[in-house]
């Protein structure tokens, strides 16, 4: 069983860097694992189908969790770099992901405006993103706009929509 789980995630690691291939690889690996588990447990086709679908759903949920965790690392790095900045100041940011689901990245961030009121302190930020593996970093740099807000002593990512093009629906 443990070998099967390592196989599922091993397929994912081999395909990292392209989320659709990664998703399909994990799905295929889960399908193989589901068949192997169902074969050990039952000869009933309906039960085997249920086991297979359950394993596949679990693998997809695990992958989505890991993708959200990876994206949060990048968002946190940008928020922390922008937190001490005043409007117009620029800082460098970078992230080395704990899991290689996405390439490591770096860029610059600036605060374009302050947003807030009583007990609410937010900043609109403009940031660039360059993958560490980029052949021509200046040509491959992309720009985005987002909002960060202060949560106690920590600044956190606060917007979903501006990031949709970059991080997809999995915020």
Q: What is the pLDDT of residues 79-137, one digit of tens each?
A: 999 999 999 999 999 999 888 888 889 999 999 999 988 889 999 999 999 988 777 87
Q: Is the separation of the CB atoms in 91 and 85 below 8 Å?
A: yes
Considering the domain architecture, whether residues 84 and 119 belong to the same structural domain is answered as yes
pLDDT of residue 14: 46
pLDDT at 5: 43
- Please give the residue range of the domain that contains residue 39: 2-71
Residues 43-55 have pLDDT tens digits of: 666 666 676 777 7
User: Helices 2-14 and 19-41 meet at what angle, rounded to 10?
Assistant: 160
Instruction: Give the residue, 3 or 85, on which the prediction is more confident.
Output: 85
* pLDDT top residue among 26 and 94: 94
Indicate if 79 and 56 belong to the same structural domain.
no
Same domain for 109 and 163?
yes
Structural domains counted in the chain: 2
Residues 91 and 146 in one domain: yes
State the first-to-last Cα distance of the chain, in angstroms, to the nearest integer.
31
The verdict on 61 and 99 lying in the same domain is no
Do 26 and 106 belong to one domain?
A: no
**pTM score > 0.75 for this model?**
no
In the predicted structure, residue 35 carries a pLDDT above the cut 70: no
**Picking from 17-21, 97-101, 119-123, 151-155, which range would have the lowest pLDDT averaged per residue?**
17-21
Check whether residue 78 and residue 106 sit in a common domain.
yes
């Amino acid at each position: 069983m443990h070998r099967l789980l390592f196989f599922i995630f091993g397929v994912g690691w081999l395909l990292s860097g392209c989320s659709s291939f990664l998703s399909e690889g994990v799905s295929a690996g889960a399908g193989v694992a589901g068949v192997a588990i169902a074969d050990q447990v039952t000869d009933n086709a309906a039960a085997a189908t249920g086991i297979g679908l359950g394993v596949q759903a679990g693998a997809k949920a695990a992958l989505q969790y890991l993708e959200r965790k990876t994206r949060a690392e990048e968002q946190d790095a940008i928020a922390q770099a922008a937190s001490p900045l005043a409007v117009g100041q620029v800082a460098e940011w970078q992230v080395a992901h704990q899991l290689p689901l996405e390439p490591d990245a770096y860029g610059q961030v600036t605060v374009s405006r302050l947003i807030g009121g009583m007990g609410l302190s937010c900043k609109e930020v403009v940031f660039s993103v360059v993958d560490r593996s980029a052949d021509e970093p200046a040509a491959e740099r992309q720009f985005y706009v987002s909002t960060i807000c202060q949560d106690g002593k920590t600044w956190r990512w606060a917007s979903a929509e501006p990031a949709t093009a970059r991080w997809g629906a999995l915020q």
